[in-house]
Amino acid sequence: MTMGNNNHRGFWTTRFGFILAASGSAVGLGNIWKFPYIVGQNGGGAFVLIYLVCAFLVGLPIMLAEFTIGRKTNLNPVGAFQSLKPKTPWVGIGYMGMLGGFLILSFYGVVGGWTFAYVVKSITHTVGHFTSPKEASEFFGSFIANTGEVIFYHFLFMGVCVAIVLRGIHGGIEKACDILMPTLVIILFILMIRALTLPGAMEGVMFYLKPDFSKIGAQTILIALGQAFFSLSLGMGCMLTYGSYLSEKENLTSCAVYVVLLDTLIALLMGMVIFPAVFAMGLEPAEGPSLVFSVLPAVFTDMAFGTVASIIFFTLLAIAAVTSGISLLEVVVAYFIDQRGWNRKKAVLFTSGVIFVFGVPSGLSFGVLADAKLFGMTFFDHVDNIASNYLLPLGGMLTAVFIGWIWGTKRAEEEIEKHETTFHWAYVWGFLIRYITPVAVLFIFLARFLK
Ligand code: TRP
């Protein structure tokens, strides 16, 4: 198809490559690490249902909106809003997005570092040989409290992201995703079968699938919404930036549908791995950020080829985290390159340096700063909460209002329908993005604050 053309553009000229790239950004710690522990903390099945509604009713239309703005303008978020409505405050959405990317990467890098550490510890046989689930959990607890180790791996994770973003995003990542995404799904299936066959697993399945709405309140719904934004990489211009490299002939609607489906599938699958295991091992579903890191090593311990499984799992998790981390870094970097005229090297080194330093207190939030709480939450919790539960939904809502009411769905629909379709999904989308999506976000915000 692209024969005779410049081959490195091929990355974005095939629909498959684009879907993989966007999924590489979407699928990450949000699906594998965050989703299970948030479900665990918020009562299980009912939360999962609310999450699904948020992902498809709010997330999907916003993803399409971001793709559309990106492809229309071929610019970074700040530049994009500026070019569509010059000299208006709407450019603020772009700046808010940058701030969101900055905050998210600051703590994302910390957890990315944990995954690196667990790869190393699986190889050196420290992880995967526990005598009890409790021991696995205590091991993790003491690891994340160890200042030196946490900072070292955090630095390493950021270093890997820097090395990749310095070179620009190349076909290498696409090729890697090509193999990694299917491998990840296969490994998750194997783990799921293992978890489901553990004695006592059914209790976990019930917890995960049986909705108990008594646990749901305004705060829980806001958390589900925030998680949908986080997991789908929405609300901060990340998908906008990716869409900006997409060719005219691709069907934006189906790309968005595939990315949302794949991301959701992997999150749901991960829940099916964790909850049966949690209950079978007699652990607490509401354990929080340490959930995946303490439950899975316990499962690996008494599994055939447990060490191999552990190495592969944490390696995939680490790579999934890197492909998301670079997309976060790229948004901040793109701003300095496009809007400030910096060269790539300066932009990458400066922004990643500042983000790393700002992330240090998040890294220490499970050790020396564990008791330094404000309103009952650590530094890590606050950064995550502000970015995921407020900045992302707000950014997404404003994007919806912008495209639905300011720039206008008519122009957006034209952009979407460039690729002719038999059924005009663009009109369905136009209705959602004007009336349903922003109102849903607003309503969830209001419910939270008027409570
Ligand atoms: N979606 C990624 C994950 O699930 C994280 C991520 C990458 C992200 N880019 C983003 C989150 C932009 C919010 C916004 O791990």
pLDDT at 170 > cutoff 60: no
Cα separation of 89 and 93, whole Å? 8
Structure confidence by residue, pLDDT tens digits, 212-256: 888 888 888 989 999 999 999 999 999 998 888 787 777 888 899
Mean predicted confidence (pLDDT) in 24-50: 94
As given in the structure block, the two tokens for residue 226 are 């925030």
pLDDT at residue 12, as a whole number: 57
How far does Cα 125 stand from its chain's mean position? 29
pLDDT at residue 176, as a whole number: 65
Cα separation of 370 and 367, whole Å? 5
pLDDT at 350 > cutoff 80: yes
Higher-confidence residue: 277 or 18? 277
Cα separation of 97 and 328, whole Å? 10
72 alpha carbon – ligand 1 mean position (Å): 22
Nearest to 133 by CA among 296, 276, 324: 296
Mean predicted confidence (pLDDT) in 183-196: 88
334 alpha carbon – ligand 1 mean position (Å): 16
Question: Would the CB of 327 count as within 6 Å of ligand 1?
Answer: yes
On the CB side of 250, CA atoms within 13 Å amount to: 25
pLDDT at 59 > cutoff 90: yes
In this structure, the residue with its CA closest to atom 8 of ligand 1 is: 233
pLDDT at residue 1, as a whole number: 30
Mean predicted confidence (pLDDT) in 23-36: 93
The helix/strand/coil state of 430 is: helix
Question: Helix H segments across 281-343?
Answer: 291-301, 306-338
Nearest to 329 by CA among 147, 169, 210: 169
Q: Quote the DSSP letter at residue 289.
A: T
Structure confidence by residue, pLDDT tens digits, 89-114: 999 999 999 999 999 999 999 999 99
Cα separation of 33 and 36, whole Å? 6
Question: Would the CB of 20 count as within 6 Å of ligand 1?
Answer: no
pLDDT at residue 377, as a whole number: 93
CA angle 85, 410, 403 (to 5 degrees): 45
Mean predicted confidence (pLDDT) in 59-74: 93
232 alpha carbon – ligand 1 mean position (Å): 6
pLDDT band for position 116 (cuts 50, 70, 90)? very high
Entry field: residues in the chain: 451
Question: Would the CB of 28 count as within 6 Å of ligand 1?
Answer: yes
pLDDT at residue 28, as a whole number: 94
233 alpha carbon – ligand 1 mean position (Å): 4
Are residues 189 and 269 in contact, defined by beta-carbon separation less than 8 angstroms? Answer: yes
How much of the chain is helix, strand and coil, in % rounded to 5?
80, 0, 20
30 alpha carbon – ligand 1 mean position (Å): 7
Nearest to 74 by CA among 244, 271, 284: 244
Higher-confidence residue: 345 or 304? 345
Mean pLDDT, the chain, whole residue set = 88
69 alpha carbon – ligand 1 mean position (Å): 19
Distances (CA, A) of 431 to 259, 380, 401, 405, 436: 21, 38, 12, 11, 7
In this structure, the residue with its CA closest to atom 6 of ligand 1 is: 233
pLDDT band for position 4 (cuts 50, 70, 90)? very low
pLDDT at residue 426, as a whole number: 82
pLDDT at residue 312, as a whole number: 86
pLDDT at residue 9, as a whole number: 27
Question: Would the CB of 328 count as within 6 Å of ligand 1?
Answer: yes
125 alpha carbon – ligand 1 mean position (Å): 31
pLDDT at residue 447, as a whole number: 77
pLDDT band for position 19 (cuts 50, 70, 90)? confident
Pocket test for ligand 1, best of 327, 332, 394 (most atoms within 8 A of CB): 327
Are residues 35 and 282 in contact, defined by beta-carbon separation less than 8 angstroms? Answer: no
Amino acid at position 100, single letter = G
Nearest to 200 by CA among 299, 313, 307: 299
Q: Name the pTM for this structure.
A: 0.91
pLDDT band for position 175 (cuts 50, 70, 90)? low
Ligand 1 atom at minimum distance from 236 CA: 14
pLDDT at 423 > cutoff 80: no
pLDDT at residue 165, as a whole number: 84
List of long-range contacts for 182-189, beta carbons under 8 Å, 24+ apart: 183/312, 183/316, 184/27, 184/266, 184/316, 184/320, 185/265, 185/266, 185/269, 187/309, 187/312, 187/313, 187/316, 188/266, 188/269, 188/270, 188/273, 189/269
How far does Cα 401 stand from its chain's mean position? 23
Counting residues of the chain whose pLDDT is more than 90, the rounded percentage is 55
Cα separation of 320 and 35, whole Å? 14
Higher-confidence residue: 305 or 35? 35
391 alpha carbon – ligand 1 mean position (Å): 13
pLDDT at residue 177, as a whole number: 67
pLDDT at 265 > cutoff 50: yes
pLDDT band for position 11 (cuts 50, 70, 90)? very low
Nearest to 151 by CA among 118, 113, 97: 113
Q: Please report which helix (H) or strand (E) contains residue 362, including its range.
A: helix 344-363
Question: Would the CB of 29 count as within 6 Å of ligand 1?
Answer: yes
In this structure, the residue with its CA closest to atom 14 of ligand 1 is: 233
Are residues 295 and 274 in contact, defined by beta-carbon separation less than 8 angstroms? Answer: yes
Question: Would the CB of 62 count as within 6 Å of ligand 1?
Answer: no
